[in-house]
Structure 1
C-alpha cells in the first residue's frame, strides 16, 4: 500500500486580509461546504466552487417537478377517465371548482420552479 501524500505539514501561504474580508471568505467557504483553506485553494487554482446551496436548490427543484407531475397526472385522470372514477359525489360546479384549484396549484408550482431555477 502506498502512502498518500497530504498537504498537512507543507508550506502554507499567508494571506493578509481585513476582518470584513476574512468574514466574507469564511461565509463563502461555509456556503460551499468547504474549509477556508480548501475554498481559497480552489479559487486560487481556478477550480469551480460549487456550493451546497446549489445542490439544495436542485433537490428542491426535483421535488417541485415531481409535484407538478403528480398534479398533471391527477388532472389528466379527471379529464379523460371519468367512467373509472367515483364522481357521483361531485356536481358539475364542484368538479369544475376542483379542476380549477388543481390548475392553480400547478401554476403556483411552475412559478416556484421558475423562481428556484432563476436563483441558480
Structure 2
C-alpha cells in the first residue's frame, strides 16, 4: 500500500498579482462583499466563476425590523377586530379612525419594504 498524499492549496505555489493600493483595496472589498477571502475571490474570478455576493446584512436587518413591525400591527389589528366586547366602551368612530391609521401604517411599511428590496436589484 502506497502513501499517497493529496495536493493542497497551502502546499502549492501562490500566484502574485501586482496592483496599486486602490486596486488592492477594491479587490479586498469585493471579496468581502462576496463573503470570500481575497485568495478565494481571485481564484474564482480567475477560473471564470461568476461571483455571487452575499445578502447585505444591513438590508436584512432593516427588512427584519419592518417585518416585525408589520407583525405587531397585524396582531394589534386582529385583537381589535376579534375582541369587540373589550372595546364596546370605545367610541366606534374613534376606533374606525385608529384602525384606518393602522392600515395606512401597514401599507406604508409594505412600500418601504418594497423600496428596500428593489434598490438592491
Please give the TM-score of this superposition, normalised by the length of structure 2: 0.70
Q: Per-residue deviation at 1:40?
A: 1.2
Where does structure 1 lack aligned partners over 5 or more consecutive residues?
A: none
Q: Is the 8 A contact 2:80 2:87 kept in 1?
A: no
Q: Per-residue deviation at 1:23?
A: 0.9
Does 2:108 match 1:108? yes
Cα deviation digits, residues 7-55 of structure 1 (max 9, x gap):
1121222222222111111111122222111111122223333334x16
2:91 counterpart residue number: 91
3-state SS in 2 of match to 1:47 = coil
- CA-based RMSD: 2.9
Please give the TM-score of this superposition, normalised by the length of structure 1: 0.71
Higher relative contact order (CA 8 A, sep 6+): 1
**What is the rounded CA distance, in whole Å, between the counterparts of 1:110 and 1:74 in structure 2?**
17
- Bigger CA radius of gyration: 2
Where does structure 2 lack aligned partners over 5 or more consecutive residues?
A: none
**What is the rounded CA distance, in whole Å, between the counterparts of 2:56 and 2:69 in structure 1?**
19
**What is the rounded CA distance, in whole Å, between the counterparts of 2:91 and 2:5 in structure 1?**
75
Q: Per-residue deviation at 1:3?
A: 6.0
The number of residue pairs the alignment matches comes to 116
